[in-house]
Amino acid sequence: MSARYTVRLSDDDREALRLFVSRGTAPARAIARARVLLKTDADGPAWDDARVAEALDLCAATVQRVRKRFVTGGLDAAVERKRPDRVYARALGGRGEAELTRLACSTPPEGRARWTLRLLADRMAALGHEVSHETVRQTLKKTRSDLISTSSG
């Protein structure tokens, strides 16, 4: 076991982890991480990484990461899933969304009964907005009514 990231659980943490594992209602990865902490506890079994990895059918690097996250971030950081910190830029701004909504509410092209996502994406491209049909779908999904559907039910 690495001396740099030594897991030392308090009695309360140890009991909380045992209860967490025994319930079995949490995601499997969270339960596996809790088991890693219980097995690598320096005041408990103090298993080495290879033994824990073999016993829990995990990769040794996973065991090391769990220990590191516990030491640097605490119990919740080690057990729970880390939320993604990336932020995606919006494909359409407010004016683009308004233009798409206006277009979707307009009459469809001749020979069509209604707008399709691909037709809307092509028309938006002609207006100078490079968007895919998936962007059109996601943008229109944010509205309360389905603007391209013929039925409201």
pLDDT, one tens digit per residue, over 80-115 is: 988 888 888 888 888 999 999 999 999 999 999 999
Give, rounded to a whole angstrom, the gap between the first and last alpha carbons of the chain.
60
CA-nearest of 121, 124, 126 to 95 is 124
Residue 147 — pLDDT band, cuts 50, 70, 90? low
Tokens of 31: 């339960």
Q: Which of 107, 97, 109, 108 is nearest to 136 (CA)?
A: 97
Judged by DSSP in three states, 70 sits in helix
Average pLDDT over residues 5-33: 95
Q: What is the pLDDT of residue 1?
A: 45
Mean residue pLDDT of the chain comes to 90
Residue 153 confidence class, pLDDT cut points 50, 70, 90 = very low
What are the phi and psi torsion angles at 41 (to 5°)? -60, 125
